[in-house]
Copies of this chain bind each other. A is one copy, B any other.
């Protein structure tokens, strides 16, 4: 079994209203000195069998096409267990 984590974040130059709302709330709730909060998506994907290079390549492609929108988002992909 393989487990892959994909984190998708808005590109740094794109407005992140969600992160801003969280930043404001953290401040109001007494956490000081928060300079930035960005909120993204966290996918945990489990696959049966081993993650061979074909499937790894497919995952990488789909992380950029399906899980994220390259016009506004970046992603990072981490293989936890191959």
Cβ-defined contact, A31 with B55, below 8 A: yes
Partner of A55, one of B19, B32, B35, B41: B32
**A82 contacts partner chain B, Cβ-Cβ < 8 Å:** no
Which residues does chain B contribute within 8 Å of A8, judged by CB atoms? 42
Partner of A66, one of B26, B45, B47, B55: B26
Which residues does chain B contribute within 8 Å of A48, judged by CB atoms? 33, 35
Interface pairs (15), CB distance under 8 Å: A9-B42, A22-B67, A25-B66, A26-B45, A26-B66, A29-B62, A31-B55, A33-B47, A34-B45, A34-B46, A36-B46, A37-B43, A38-B44, A40-B41, A41-B41
